[in-house]
Chain A
Amino acid sequence: MIKAILIFNNHGKPRLSKFYEHYNEDIEQQIIRETFHLVSKRDENVCNFLEGGLLIGGSDNKLIYRHYATLYFVFCVDSAESELGILDLIQVFVETLDKCFENVCELDLIFHVDKVHHILAEMVMGGMVLETNMNEIITQVDAQVKMERSEAGIAGAPARAVSAVKNMNLPEMPKNINIGDISIKVNLLLQRL
């Protein structure tokens, strides 16, 4: 069984956390920190498995993780799961995100927190693997997007956007424009695929 799925960036900022066993909110945050601490100190190219931290149940549980560009994807599982199977599942997850967001980057996970949850829900349910077929997952997600659009009545949106841009107070525009933390826009899969 998958106990928890955690995504955080290189600085330990959580980007997604999903616990399939109930923990107190404080404990959840501590688990994220502990996991980050365990995972981040490891070199690249070492193995992708390690024994779980104490908070999540110690050596009975394993952390299976992958590092993509700026993000760590960590699955905490018990002994009933196949390590390599979970590793592949992480890959499927990221590839699916990549397809849904077109070159997924950290920013997508922040802005579309709900959608990421939905994609995950299509793959893992109550701690068990629900679906592993990427096409099937994407079909489901696309169907949801379609429904969202039809409900939002999105047709009017561009017009509103244009008028809003016109109404913006241009003199107040910032002068020194830097591109911020560029790393969060790095495509996660660039280094892997």
Chain B
Amino acid sequence: MLNMTVIYFISYLYLRTSLKLMFAFCLHSDEGLSKHPVSLETLYPSIKIKVYFALFISGKSKEAEIKRINKELANIRSKFKGDKALDGYSKKKYVCKLLFIFLLGHDIDFGHMEAVNLLSSNKYTEKQIGYLFISVLVNSNSDLIRLINNAIKNDLSSRNPTFMNLALHCIANVGSREMAEAFAAEVPRILVAGDTMDSVKQSAALCLLRLNRTSPDLIPMGEWTSRVVHLLNDQHLGVVTAATSLIITLAQKNPDDFKTSVSLAVARLSRIVTSASTDLQDYTYYFVAAPWLSVKLLRLLQCYPPPEDAAIRGRLTECLETILNKAQEPPKSKKVQHSNAKNAVLFEAISLIIHHDSEPTLLVRACNQLGQFLQHRETNLRYLALESMCMLASSEFSHEAVKTHIETVINALKTERDVSVRQRAVDLLYAMCDRSNAKQIVAEMLSYLETADYSIREEIVLKVAILAEKYAVDYTWYVDTILNLIRIAGDYVSEEVWYRVIQIVINRDDVQGYAAKTVFEALQAPACHENLVKVGGYILGEFGNLIAGDPRSSPLIQFNLLHSKFHLCSVPTRALLLSAYVKFINLFPEVKGTIQEVLRADSQLRNADVELQQRAVEYLRLSCIASTDILATVLEEMPPFPERESSILAKLKKKKGSGTVSDMEDSRKERSTNVNGSNDHIVTTSPSSDLLGLGHTQAAALNSASPPVTSNAASLLVDVFTESLPVVPPTSIIEENFSRFVCKNNGVLYENQLLQIGLKSEFRQNLGRMYVFYGNKTTTQFLNFSASLVCQDLNIHTTPADPVVDGGAQLQQVFNIECLLDFVEAPVLSVHFRYGGSMQNISIRLPITLNKFFQPTEMTSQEFFQRWKQLGAPQQEVQKIFKAKHSMDTEVTKAKIIGFGTALLDGVDPNPSNFVGAGVIHTKTIQVGCLLRLEPNTQAQASCSVKRTHIHAALYTLMTINCNIDYCSTDISKGKIKIFKCIFKSQHSQNK
């Protein structure tokens, strides 16, 4: 049974006066009549568009719609591509249809050209539809922009105000860079020209604003700026409104250039506010004089501090008072539009008062006014009052006044039907919270959390956590609050929140016993949230001993309680619990057997998860082998955490954008005290034990509880786990620029966003001196800066680095190097410093290579070949054949060989294309003579014979470095493959 709906227009009466559609009937065709719409095109041309649109109205079948649209698109496409030139009307019709199809969410990939053609039409109707299409459909990087720009240029110079407006609208709507480039000079000229019509001026002002937003660099400030300011005095209020919008944006970027606008704005505002509302006639909206302009002017004034000139300041205060007074007058109309317009101005005035934050009387009046609105029956006003009060709460003059409304706000939180309003109430409670009312507010927020909308729960959780921490006098209250938080909204408690509670408990020993007791009790609930298990596991693992005296919470009971949750938890939590267990072994030797049994179970030792398995194996082994002393050292209580900005706050800031939160925090910093207490409470710890700063996931953070933690424990571990424990890999060593320094001594070795490391070095015989420059690329200090070198075969003395590197400064460190033996591994420079809150560790290979200790030796051809032949033993020769990376340049190659350290022996080799070098490597114990021969070969060869012995290993490494980077691999683009052959011969010569 077909149940297709087809809409027919059976009659369309064209009424000359109203252009109005009279009837639209819908036919339900039960007989499955697949009737085609009656062709009405002959009736009146535009009807076809309408019939066509009507098909989408019912919107009942998506498939039918898509089918219909595809058919229509095909039709339009064929019309556009057809040989017959379309007349303007048809073009308009089809472009209109495309617009509608686009609106319904279908891609339009043609018609752009036709729209551009319409732009150059002389008919307004066609031009207009062309512009419409372009401003809706053409994005800023279309390749048609140049054509469009041409049309716009013509229209701008047409002096026809309607066309100019169309063109300006198009620029403002597309706003691309090409357009900005093309019209950056023209638009300001139109704006300030004396003979420009008002409506064009309006458009030009907003067009300029748009261009300034998209490409500020292209809009030169010029003599037009002062004339723009004077538009504030214009007769036409529409022009003033547009100009004010423009000036607001410009003044935010260049406040000094537009300072004069303040007095003009105040004068204008005063004229509007004090005039009888009938004076402004058309701009009076429901008995309010020019509300939009007033709002804009008040916004403009918020770009500047209170005016210094007493007269202007007085006038402004008078205006603000008048606006506040008007709020108390009986409304002139019952219509909501009247009160909306009036209050729009009022709220903006209050924003300005808050922004100036200088007139206590006005602030208090504003606060009272907002207090009235808090109970207003209009939801919108309650919403805005809560929002504005949030800002008011941060002003020292009105903070107390805001606090008097606490009951109303709490009531709003409980009774308000609208979630947006409730959210504002939460914001305001957060903003008005201080030590005196923290307990009440936190309690209210917690109780609201049980019924809060899911969308705002996480934010409330963060806010409660922050307030509880910030205003905690009594830390038992803090612990209770956070545990409650986890109980009520565990899913919304992010890692930061529970990390934080652990940090605080660890840092404050007065709360540790209470915390242990509380988590123990909380864990007894039959169902508890995983986050609670994490906190419980961590805290009992650290401080379970504090409550172990009570027989109700004996070690075994604690352990059984934790372990009863184990199987319900995810892998990271289980990992944490395993760490807690091993800490129990240390705390309570009496449960050691029980725990070892648990660890030994197949479900642990053979767990599919590598992390769990590893922990179980290691902990079990540790508990079996290690003595009590070692256990006590390894599983020591966590040291206190360093003080830092609360990560929860950082998260809230991130969540809310940079806006209100940070401002509020800054302005109230002096009132707050940090929960970490004073600095002397803090003991610096190794960075890896830091729960928060690492940015690692739980596993990393939890490692702090597992063995490989403190450095003194590390050496113990070597003894304990001699059998099979993997060596913890060092942080990766940076070598990217290393090879560049094989043949040179100076340059930039390393660079990232923070730091640049530069080198300058010189070598003589077996001695060298290297200057390392550490450049701080940021504006903030690096603290605890240290840099050290470790190497066995080199004797390195260094000056200690200054621990502080100022922002933008450069620090120099000198290394004096003595080469003791021939060596392979270049030394590694470890740089550590604290930037912001986190430690930065960089390990970088320093280019001190064996060839740096070459002394060049000059010799004749005869000497060279005599020695070359003497060094025939296999262990004395290294050979490598490799492909050239670049086409070979003789001069470059020569420079490389000299840079490598050997002497370049010209004219020694009978084959002129070969390169020959000789030098002596100096070390403290031995000196090694080396001969080098590089044989470029243009024929492809693949054989490669390399001989290495202990001494040659070093040379081999060197050569590889040298070859790989600088000479080798192919230059296929030239169709030739160049082969080099490089032979080192070396010789022990103890005393030359």
Residues of A within 8 A of B (CB): 1, 11, 13-18, 20, 22, 25, 29, 32, 42-43, 45-51, 58-60, 79-80, 82-85, 87-89, 91-92, 101-102, 107-108, 110-111, 113-114, 117-118, 121, 125-133, 135-136, 140, 143-144, 147-148, 151-152, 154, 157-158, 160-161, 163-165, 167-169, 172-174, 176-181, 184-185
| 26 A-B pairs whose Cβ atoms sit less than 8 Å apart in the complex | A1-B213, A14-B103, A17-B103, A22-B140, A49-B420, A50-B420, A51-B423, A80-B248, A82-B348, A84-B384, A107-B57, A111-B53, A118-B128, A125-B169, A125-B207, A126-B207, A131-B202, A135-B282, A147-B125, A157-B16, A164-B43, A165-B43, A168-B43, A174-B8, A178-B28, A184-B57
Size bracket, chain B contacts: 35 or more
| Minimum CB distance partner of A79 in chain B | B659
Contacts A20-B173, A129-B241: A147 and B380 contacting too (C-beta < 8 A)?
no
| Minimum CB distance partner of B242 in chain A | A130
Contact A168 B57 (CB under 8 A): no
Residues of B within 8 Å of A83, CB to CB, are 344, 347, 380, 384
What total count of A-B pairs have CB within 8 Å? Answer: 235
Q: A14-B105, A110-B53 provided; 14 other pairs, C-beta below 8 A?
A: A1-B213, A43-B417, A46-B417, A50-B420, A84-B343, A85-B292, A88-B285, A110-B100, A113-B96, A128-B210, A133-B283, A179-B26, A180-B25, A180-B57
Contact B8 A87 (CB under 8 A): no
What's the Cα separation between A32 and B285 when bound, in Å? 31
Residues of A within 8 Å of B752, CB to CB, are none
A100 to chain B, nearest CB (A): 10
Residues of A within 8 Å of B382, CB to CB, are 47
Interface-located stretch among B34-42, B263-271, B598-606, B804-812: B34-42
Residues of B within 8 Å of A181, CB to CB, are 26, 57-58
Which of chain B's residues 12-45 have a Cβ closer than 8 Å to chain A? Answer: 12-14, 16, 18, 20-21, 24-30, 35, 38, 40, 42-44
Contact A151 B124 (CB under 8 A): yes
A7 to chain B, nearest CB (A): 10
What's the Cα separation between A88 and B287 when bound, in Å? 13
Residues of A within 8 Å of B104, CB to CB, are 13-14
Residues of B within 8 Å of A1, CB to CB, are 213
Contacts A18-B136, A107-B21, A126-B175: A87 and B340 contacting too (C-beta < 8 A)?
yes
A125 to chain B, nearest CB (A): 5
Contact B44 A161 (CB under 8 A): yes
Contact B169 A47 (CB under 8 A): no
Residues of A within 8 Å of B53, CB to CB, are 110-111, 113
Contact A129 B245 (CB under 8 A): yes
Residues of B within 8 Å of A45, CB to CB, are 379
What's the Cα separation between A49 and B123 when bound, in Å? 42
Sorted nearest first, the 4 A-B pairs with minimum C-beta distance are A180-B26, A126-B172, A164-B43, A84-B344
Contact A160 B105 (CB under 8 A): no
Contact A136 B380 (CB under 8 A): no
Find the residue from A50, A113, A118, A157 having the highest chain B CB count within 10 A: A113
Contact A82 B99 (CB under 8 A): no
A102 to chain B, nearest CB (A): 6
Contact of B43 among A29, A107, A160 (CB under 8 A): A160
What's the Cα separation between A84 and B349 when bound, in Å? 13
Contact B380 A87 (CB under 8 A): yes
Contact B38 A168 (CB under 8 A): yes
What's the Cα separation between A147 and B163 when bound, in Å? 12
Contact A46 B379 (CB under 8 A): yes
Contact B206 A161 (CB under 8 A): no
Contact A172 B38 (CB under 8 A): yes
A78 to chain B, nearest CB (A): 11
For residue B437, CB closer than 8 A to chain A, the reply is no
Contact of B379 among A32, A47, A84 (CB under 8 A): A47
Residues of B within 8 Å of A136, CB to CB, are 238, 282
Contact B295 A82 (CB under 8 A): yes
Contact A179 B25 (CB under 8 A): yes
| Minimum CB distance partner of B17 in chain A | A102
**Interface 1/0s, chain B 154-180, versus A by CB < 8 A?**
000000001000001100110100000
Residues of B within 8 Å of A79, CB to CB, are 659
Contact B341 A88 (CB under 8 A): yes
Contact A158 B16 (CB under 8 A): yes
Residues of B within 8 Å of A89, CB to CB, are 292
Residues of B within 8 Å of A111, CB to CB, are 21, 49-50, 53
Contacts A49-B383, A113-B96, A174-B10: A164 and B124 contacting too (C-beta < 8 A)?
no
What's the Cα separation between A133 and B105 when bound, in Å? 33
Residues of A within 8 Å of B44, CB to CB, are 157, 160-161, 164
Residues of B within 8 Å of A135, CB to CB, are 282
Residues of B within 8 Å of A176, CB to CB, are 27-28, 30
What's the Cα separation between A101 and B384 when bound, in Å? 34
For residue B107, CB closer than 8 A to chain A, the reply is yes
Contact A117 B132 (CB under 8 A): yes
